[in-house]
Chain A
Amino acid sequence: MSAAVIESPAASGTDDAPRIGLRAHLRHISALARRNVLWIRQDPESMFDVVLMPIVFTLLFVFVFGGAIAGQGNQDEYVNYVVPGLMAMMGMNIAMGVGTGFNQDFQTGVMDRFRSLPISRASVLIAKIAVEIGRLLLATAILLSVGFLLGLSVSNVPGLLAAIGLALVFGSSIMWIFLTMGVVMKNAQAIQGMGFLVLMPLQFGSSIFSPPSTMPGWLRTFTDYNPLSSLADAARGLMNGGQPVAHDIMITLVWSVVITVAMAPVAIHKYRTKT
C-alpha cells in the first residue's frame, strides 16, 4: 500500500487512491447482491409481489376485461394481446418496490457503514438493481406460464426472448428513477403515493390493456408517445409477428438509454451526498 501511494497518484490530480478496479467492483456488487438475496430467504413474503402480481393481473384482465374489450368469447385473442402488455407493466411495478426498499435501508445506519467503506458508492445501487432485475425476470416467467395456461400462443421464440430482454432493459431504466426517489424522499409511503400517481396514467394511458384506436384523439396522442405503448407493441410484434417492430424497439431503447443516462448519475450523486 505504501508503495502504491508513491507509484499511483490518482488521475483526479489529488493523491487519493485510484478508483476501485473493475474486478473489485464486481466483487463488491456481488457481495451486496448476496445480501439482498439473503433477505429474501429471511423474509420470503417479500417475494409475494413477484409471484402473485403476474398471476392476479393476468387472471383479472383476461377474465374480467377480456370479454368486454375483445368481445364475447374472444378471451384467447385477448391473452395474446394483454400478456405482452403486462410484461411491460410488471417492470414499472417492481421498479416502484426498488424505491421503497432502498428508502427503508436508509432508516437504519447500514448505509452509513457502506458509505464509510472503501467501495465505490455506485456498487450499492447497482447491486440493488441487479437483484431487482432477477426478480423481474422471475415475475416475467410466472406471467408467461400463466399466460400459456390461459392459451397464450407464441409463434416466434427468439422474438419472445428479445421481448423479455427489451422489457428488462426498460424496467431497469425505470428503477433508476425510483432509486433516486428512494434516496431523496422522506419515507416509503411518499414514494408509493407518488409512484401510483405517475404509474397509473402511464399504464392505463397506453396500449397495454386495449388498443388506442378506441380512445379519444387527445388521449391517443399521449398514448402514442407513451414509451409503455412502444414496449408493449414491440413485445407483441416480437412474439407473434403481424406488425412491424423496428420502430417500437428503437423508441423503447432510446427511452431506456435516455432515462438511465439521465437518472443513474443523479441517483449516485444523491446517494453519495445524502447527509
Chain B
Amino acid sequence: MTRIDDKPRRKGDGTGRPDAVTVRGLVKHYGETKALDGVDLDVREGTVRGVLGPNGAGKTTLVRILSTLLVPDAGRATVAGFDVVRQPRRLRRVIGLTGQYASVDEKLSGRENLYLIGRLLDLSRRDARTRADELLERFSLTDAAKRPASTYSGGMRRRLDLAASMIGSPTVLFLDEPTTGLDPRTRNEVWNEVERMVGDGVTVLLTTQYMEEAEQLANELTVIDRGKVIANGGIEELKAKVGGRTLRIRPADPLELRPTAAALDEFGLTGPGGSTVDAATGTVLVPILSDEQLTAVVGGLTARGITLAGLSTELPSLDEVFLSLTGHRATGSAGPGDPDDPDGPRDTPAGRSYEEAAV
C-alpha cells in the first residue's frame, strides 16, 4: 500500500545537520520555580533520546518548548533545523506530539479524531479518510473506529494519541511519558508501536520516569532533575555509571550464600561495592555491567561447584539511578498535584489528574 507521505522530509534537504534536535542552555522559569535551568541536549537523526527524571524535573516543560507550546526564557533550541522561537510554523509541520495528558477528543470517534487532524494538516478529504483508516488499522483500532473515544480503555486512548501524532508523517516525534499509568501488557503494546515508528526512521525524544522504558526504547539518555541535566550519554555508558543491572543469585543450598558472595568478589568482575548477601530472601546481589559478565559469573560459580536454584536480573529503579548519580534520592517535590505547591502547574487541574488516573 502506498502511504500518503508527501510531507517534506528533512533528510537530504541540504542543511546537512546530523542532529534532529539541538537544545542549548534552555531556561524556563515559572515565578520562583526553575522548571528548566540551562538544559543542553542533542538527538541525532533517526535515534531515540530518552529524558529520564522524577516528577517536577522539567520534562514536560522541555517537550512543550520543543513543540512550540511554550516560549523559553533563554537559550536556543532547534528541531529539524528550525528554531523553536523564530520558525514555529515550519517546525510544526515536521513534528508529532503525544503529550503527557491524552489529547484525544473524547466526544469524537477514533476515526473522526484522526480525520480532523488530517484535515488540519491539509490532507484532502479523501486522503484524510484513507490516512485515518490506515493508522486505525496499524494501531489495532479498526474495530473501535466508530465508537466515541470516551469509551476507549487507557491503552486504546494512548494508541489513538500516537496515531494522531503520526498523521502528518512527522520526522521528529515527542512523547511525554507515553506509558505512565498503563498496565504492563498495554505498556508493551505502546513500546512496540514506538519501536515501529523508529523503524520507519522517525527521530524520537521521549520522557519517562522508568529506567526500564528508557532501556527498552532509547539509544541515548539524558537524566534531568530540577531543571538541570545531571547525566548524559549512551544507555550502556550510563548503565556503567549507575551500575547497570543487578544480578540476583539464589544458591540451591542456603549455606552456600556466603561462599557464593565470596566467590563473586574474587572474580573481581563487578563494580565497586561488590556483592551483598540478602539473607531474608536467601539471595546474593551483585551489580553487573554486561551480558559477558553475566555469563562469566554463572560460569565461575558452576566451576566452583555451586548449584544455582534461581537467577534474575533487575534494572536499577529511578531512585537508585539518582542515588548513584547525585548521591541523593530523587526528591520528586514540586510535581503536579504537590500539596506544597498551591500555584502548581496550571495545566494540571483536577480534570487532568482524573484523566491521568483513568488512563
Q: Chain A: residues with CB nearer than 8 A to chain B?
A: 1-2, 5, 10, 14-20, 24, 27-28, 31-32, 34-35, 38-39, 42-43, 104, 107-110, 112-119, 186-187, 273, 275
Contacts and interface: CB of A to CB of B under 8 A. Distances in A.
B69 A38 contact: no
B351 A15 contact: no
22 contacts: A1-B8, A18-B89, A28-B120, A31-B116, A35-B105, A35-B108, A35-B116, A38-B108, A109-B102, A109-B355, A110-B103, A112-B101, A113-B97, A113-B164, A115-B68, A116-B68, A117-B120, A118-B92, A118-B93, A186-B346, A187-B349, A275-B70
Contact of A108 (B88, B95, B106): B106
A152 B355 CA distance: 49
Contacts of B99: 109, 112-113
A28 B14 CA distance: 31
Nearest to B112: A38
B179 to A, nearest CB: 16
A128 to B, nearest CB: 13
The 6 lowest CB-CB distance pairs between A and B, nearest first, are A109-B103, A107-B351, A1-B8, A31-B119, A109-B101, A113-B103
Contact of A32 (B89, B120, B164, B352): B120
A39 B88 CA distance: 30
B270 interface: no
A17 B89 contact: yes
Contact of A118 (B89, B105, B116): B89
Contacts of B14: 2
Contacts of B269: none
A115 B95 CA distance: 12
Interface string B274-307: 0000000000000000000000000000000000
Contacts of B69: 112, 115-116, 275
Interface in B1-32: 8, 13-14, 30
Nearest to B100: A109
B90 interface: yes
A34 B115 CA distance: 11
A28 B118 CA distance: 10
Contacts of B108: 35, 38-39, 42
A143 B30 CA distance: 49
Contact of A17 (B64, B87, B121): B87
Interface string B113-133: 000110111100000000000
Nearest to A13: B86
A27 B120 CA distance: 8
A18 B90 CA distance: 9
A204 B147 CA distance: 45
A31 B30 CA distance: 35
A110 B104 CA distance: 6
B67 interface: yes
B46 interface: no
B349 A186 contact: yes
A56 to B, nearest CB: 26
Nearest to A10: B89
Contacts of B103: 108-110, 112-113
A91 B193 CA distance: 48
B148 interface: yes
B347 interface: yes
B82 to A, nearest CB: 8
B208 to A, nearest CB: 18
Contacts of A117: 92, 117, 120-121
Interface centre among B106, B116, B121 (most CB of A within 10 A): B116
Given A16-B89, A109-B355, 10 more contacts: A14-B87, A18-B89, A24-B122, A27-B119, A107-B351, A109-B102, A117-B92, A118-B92, A186-B346, A187-B349
A191 to B, nearest CB: 14
A49 B112 CA distance: 26
Interface in B145-172: 148, 164
B329 interface: no
A112 B68 CA distance: 10
B107 interface: yes
B352 A107 contact: yes
A2 B90 CA distance: 11
A2 B112 CA distance: 31
Nearest to A20: B89
A18 B88 CA distance: 11
A108 B13 contact: no
A112 B108 CA distance: 17
Contact of A16 (B70, B87, B106, B352): B87
A16 B83 CA distance: 9
Given A24-B122, A117-B121, A118-B92, A2 B13 contact: yes
A18 B108 CA distance: 31
B9 to A, nearest CB: 9
Nearest to B106: A108
A2 B352 CA distance: 39
Interface centre among A42, A107, A118, A186 (most CB of B within 10 A): A118
Nearest to A107: B351
Given A16-B86, A39-B107, A31 B352 contact: no
A113 B67 CA distance: 10
A17 B119 contact: no
A17 B105 contact: no
Given A112-B69, A116-B69, A42 B107 contact: yes
